[in-house]
Structure 1
Amino acid sequence: MSLLPTFPPALLALADGTVFRGYAIGAEGSSTGEVVFNTAMTGYQEILTDPSYCRQIVTLTYPHIGNTGCNAEDFESRANFAAGLVIRELPVQASNWRMGQTLPEYLKEHGIVAIAGIDTRKLTRLLREKGAQAGCVMAGANLDEAAALAQARAFPGLAGMDLAKVVSADQPYAWSEGEWDLKAGYRPVEKRPFKVVAYDFGVKRNILRMLASRGCDVEVVPAQTPAKDVLARQPDGVFLSNGPGDPEPCDYAIQAIQEVLAAKVPTFGICLGHQLLALASGAKTVKMKFGHHGANHPVKDLETGQVLITSQNHGFAVDQATLPANLKATHVSLFDGSLQGVSRTDVPAFSFQGHPEASPGPHDLAYLFDRFIRLMQDKKAENA
């Protein structure tokens, strides 16, 4: 008698006709989305709850996923937004002092369709060669390969898809929780002298924590909040969050950002917020072949020459060739040379394509939050 758990069968069908078969480790059913690969070794719970992964099926390239289980603290948003999960191997036993449940238990509880036992190296090579693929992950006793292929081919892709307003909060809310502490966990920050309005295009909680820990009294507002409502709050700064989908259809956000910039309010953007800041300044964005997803991406700071290891999660990028005179490139990827950061030359605004808040990943770029604080300090001194 085997002591190993048994799992139902599962398959992953790609729009190009490729089918991978494995076993189901999550909810039964099917889910479609854009299949991408992430090279992070851990942080799967943060990845699943990152709104930037909305409508994406995430393949984790590290071979063993689930070693540390899941817990009640590592949520990056109010829900799980990833469309599905693909891994090579599920460990027989999970163990960690913070663990509350195993990865399969977590996936089933939250209705996430997931497959294990496939050749993720082969899948990753395919995605690198052909680009991100529409796919369908199907799990359960009654698999229908033809139906899975049909669902994969029916997925329209992320280009032209505005998902920021889908994942955004529908009401404003305040945020005061600071960064995680080994002894106390998460706790409120008392002294917060800077009033910051954060646009929620799919914001991660660790971004808000890093702002609060640096003295920001944060109010999060929905993605479609007009600029006049934000400016009426008289913020010291405006933050433009990360988020999923194509930035170009987000005309409501582009218009609002243009008005915020015209008011010369210090502004900081991350990920989708970076792309929207660039679009609002006159640049263009492009869909990448397979994007950047991982926690080990080297980026060069063009101002200091320093090389930094960053967390990345994006399928679109700002086209450096289209930068107008008022935008200066500040960071570039050392993997493919793509633009990673910009700064406005005429107003106090800058942005970064990757994730300086990590979660998961390195904190090499945390100094960008300090730069935002300095911009607000300078503006306050100017107005004093």
Structure 2
Amino acid sequence: MYKKESQETERKAALVLEDGSYFLGTGFGATGRVHGEIVFNTGMVGYPEVLTDPSYFGQILVLTYPLVGNYGVPSWNAYDRWKIPKFFESEGIKVNGFIVHEYCDTPHHWQSTQTLGNWLEKENIPGLQGIDTRMLTKKLRVHGVMLGVLEVFREGVDPNLNSLIKEAKRIPDPNESDLVARVTCSEPILYYNEGRKTVVVIDCGVKYNLLRELLAFGVDVVRVPYNFSADEIMEYKPAGVLISNGPGDPKKVQDTIFTVNNLIEDNVPVMGICFGNQIISLACGGNTYKLKYGHRSQNQPCVDSNTGRCYITTQNHGYAVSLDSLKDTNLELWFQNLNDKTVEGLLHKRRNVISVQFHPEHTAGPVDTRYIFDLFLKMLEGA
């Protein structure tokens, strides 16, 4: 059992939204001030995976499940057979800040090595607890995602709300910048499997479990920066190319869109996941738009337009493909969200190109759609 974190007194904390509304609570994790886009996730488990998901870069994350931290944080020194950390989705926490209703600082789990608060403090991420996260989530659902400032104050310091309210109204929208450039790898990374085929992953903020799923099929994987050209990618003689998940507005990565267009025109088998689904749409002449509050959960129902079968999926995205924009492209609808009818998957009419908006690599979440990796690998058999 862990003892309480060594804080002589409670630290006050505040969240102030761009409209001037605010929430007051107590702090955990790091002391400091951050700003970003406030989004919510309705998943009940998986906070180590969620916090390290690069698709959350530039955002302050609210978890709707009321108690968080109760199973602690597992070890970073546990690796799979490909030397990838087993329990995380990237090399560190990617959210700017973290908001929960109740934080548990006495976790119980045999794999826990530290508390959630300790981890956040080490990575300089402030956390806010003790607020009505249901009220905050309802506000975001009605208004849409909002910009905001989160601050955890030093012991004995009271919030200066007037200052925070002024700052909240001046926050730059992180989606106006190229967030992918901040989470992509700086140079190619090779994961050897002694496989007969190679898959190149365009790293727009790839989750580790996506790499694991590919490697489990026995292929070699080369992870390349998001701005690699088609010629640079083809130097690795890939049987296929996968475009990963990632943060922000897909229209900000014009180099990636141009590269994917060239790969498709050269008849290279291509698969897109999440952000990659949006990139494929843009590369083929489609369009994307920002959702009101996004899909961030482990229970999104998606139906296969060809079979009528429904799957429960894990999702984390704030942008979507415009269905109407597909009319003048070679793309057709594959999956559709049953809640709001948004595009959840695409098929190319003439090329070996498939994509899904959800996460078939599933961690944390259901495994229903893992078969999509089988479809991609079958596409490589003729390559």
- TM-score tier (shorter): over 0.9
Q: 1:376 aligns with which of 366, 376, 380?
A: 380
Identical pairs, percent: 38
CA RMSD across the alignment:
1.4
Tell me the distance in 1 between the aligned counterparts of 2:191 and 2:90.
Answer: 13
What is the alpha-carbon distance in structure 2 between the residues aligned to residue 135 and residue 88 of structure 1?
18
Could you state the TM-score of these two structures normalised by the residue count of structure 2? 0.92
The aligned counterpart of 2:140 is 127
1:150 positional shift = 2.9
Measured after TM superposition, the shift of residue 191 of structure 1 is: 4.9
Q: How does 1:102-251 map to 2 (within 5 A)?
A: 102-141=115-154, 142=157, 143-176=159-192, 190-251=193-254
Residues 283-322 of structure 1 aligned to structure 2 (within 5 Å): 283-322=286-325
Inter-partner Cα distance in structure 1 for 2:191 and 2:274: 20
State the match for 1:332 in structure 2. 336
What do the CA deviations read for 1:211-246 (whole angstroms, capped 9, x no partner)?
A: 000122000000111111111221100010000010
Does structure 1 retain, via aligned residues, the 8 Å contact 2:36–2:58?
yes
Alignment counterpart, residue 76 of structure 1, candidates 89, 105, 123: 89
Find the counterpart in structure 2 of residue 25 from structure 1.
Answer: 28
Q: What does the per-residue CA deviation read over 1:133-155, in whole Å, with 9 as the maximum and x for residues that have no partner?
A: 00111001333222322332222
Which deviations, in whole Å up to 9, do the C-alpha atoms of 1:100-140 show, x marking residues without a partner? 10111111111111100000000000000000000111001
Match runs of 1:42-81 below 5 Å: 42-71=45-74, 72=76, 73-81=86-94
Cα distance between partner residues in 2 of 1:79 and 1:316: 24
Which residue of the other structure, out of 355, 358, 361, is the alignment partner of 2:362?
358
- For the residue of structure 2 that corresponds to 1:25, the secondary structure is strand
Q: Residue 345 in 1 paired to residue 349 in 2?
A: yes
2:284 and 2:329 in contact (8 A); partners too: no
Q: Distance in 2 between matches of 1:372 and 1:284?
A: 24
Counterpart for residue 80 of structure 2:
none
Following TM superposition, by how much is the alpha carbon of 1:358 offset from its aligned partner in structure 2, in angstroms?
1.7
Give distance in 2, aligned partners of 1:221 and 1:325.
27
Change (3 A) 1:319 1:158: farther
Structure 1's consecutive aligned runs of 4 or more residues displaced over 6 angstroms after TM superposition are none
- Kindly tell me the number of residue pairs found equivalent between the two proteins: 364
Per-residue deviation, 1:161: 2.7
CA contact (8 A) 1:33 1:152 kept: no
The 5-angstrom pairing of residues 246-261 of structure 1 reads 246-261=249-264
2:285–2:329 Cα contact (<8 Å) kept: no
Deviations 1:277-318 (A, max 9, x none): 100000000011000001111111112211111111001000
Return the alpha-carbon distance in structure 2 between the equivalents of residues 53 and 248 of structure 1: 17
Q: Which runs of 5+ in 1 are unaligned?
A: 177-189
Residue in 2 that maps onto 1:90:
103
**Contact 2:205 2:245 (8 Å CA) reproduced:** yes
Q: Judge conservation of contact 2:26–2:152 (CA < 8 Å) in 1.
A: yes
Letter of the aligned partner of 1:328 in structure 2?
A: E
Q: Secondary structure at the match of 1:248?
A: helix
Q: Distance in 2 between matches of 1:273 and 1:325?
A: 17
Q: Give per-residue Cα distances to partners, 1:40-64, cap 9 Å, x unaligned.
A: 0111111111110001100000000
Amino acid of the structure 2 residue aligned with 1:305: G
8 Å CA contact retained: 2:286, 2:329: no
SS of 1:347 mapped into structure 2: coil
Q: Tell whether the 8 Å contact from 2:4 to 2:106 is kept in structure 1 after alignment.
A: no
What is the deviation of 1:4?
A: 6.2
SS in 2 for 1:328: strand
The corresponding residue for 1:183 is none
CA distances 1:354-380 after superposition (whole Å, capped 9, x unpaired) = 111122111111111111001001x23
Q: Which amino acid letter does the alignment assign opposite residue 148 of structure 1?
A: L
What letter is aligned with 1:373?
L
List alignment gaps of at least 5 residues for structure 2: 77-85
